[in-house]
Amino acid sequence: MQQKPKIITKETVAKSRLFHIETLELEFSNGVQRNYERLIRGPGCGAVLIVPMLDNDTVLLVREYAAGLDRYELGLPKGKIDPGEDRFAAANRELKEEVGYGANRLQHLMKLSLAPSYMEHSIDVIIAMDLYQEKLPGDEPEELQVVPWNIADIPGLLASGECSEARSIAALYLTRDYLGKQ
């Protein structure tokens, strides 16, 4: 196992309500020094990405505005883990807020990171099964459109051009394989 670089200095260079950017001066085991910038996780206890399975073949996607792309995007429901919640309670709450369903069975699939070279953020992928209708008020500025999709037709979803988020795409493929729906 390689020795981790030594942090010589660490400084916050920008901070907002959602983002915190640090610059790090690192020294590697071979003596080479480099400056890195990283986006670190804001306040909170982590995040969950939920794969809601309406039945053995149907996943429920949500269409919501993606400010980063300035368009509507299909993807999986997701959200922060609130203080005092575990990942399963957070997944069930977010599912009720964004999709209008709760789950009797929740299965942790894995933890994903998006860009570990410069982002601290990771997200727990949770499969939600045995769904029942229950709606909680959420924090979205508008009602999200729920779109049923066949979990075996991920290529069709990607071809639609409406789903480009890497976390959702990875979670869909992982869930499809986990459920044996290839």
pLDDT, tens digit (0-9, with 9 covering 90-100), for 38-59: 888 766 678 999 999 999 999 9
- CATH 3.90.79.10 maps onto the chain at 47-179
pLDDT at 151 over 60: yes
CA angle 53, 55, 60 (to 5 degrees): 40
Calculate mean pLDDT across residues 106-113.
Answer: 95
Q: CATH assignment of 47-179, given 3.90.79.10, 3.40.50.720, 1.20.1250.20, 3.10.25.10?
A: 3.90.79.10
- With CA atoms as reference, report the closest residue to 128 among 103, 152, 148: 103
Q: Give the three-class secondary structure for 20.
A: strand
Average pLDDT score, the chain: 92
Higher pLDDT among residues 175 and 39, named by residue = 175
Q: Rounded to two decimals, what is the model's pTM?
A: 0.88
Range from 27-36, 42-51, 159-168 carrying the lowest mean pLDDT: 42-51
Q: Give the three-class secondary structure for 13.
A: strand
Tell me, what's the pLDDT at 65? 94
pLDDT at 118 over 90: no
User: Which tokens in the block code for residue 110?
Assistant: 């894995």
Q: Can you tell me the distance from the alpha carbon of 36 to that of 126, in angstroms, rounded to the nearest whole number?
A: 32
Question: Is residue 32 a contact partner of residue 145, using CB atoms and an 8 Å limit?
Answer: no
- With CA atoms as reference, report the closest residue to 59 among 139, 143, 154: 154
Tell me, what's the pLDDT at 17? 78
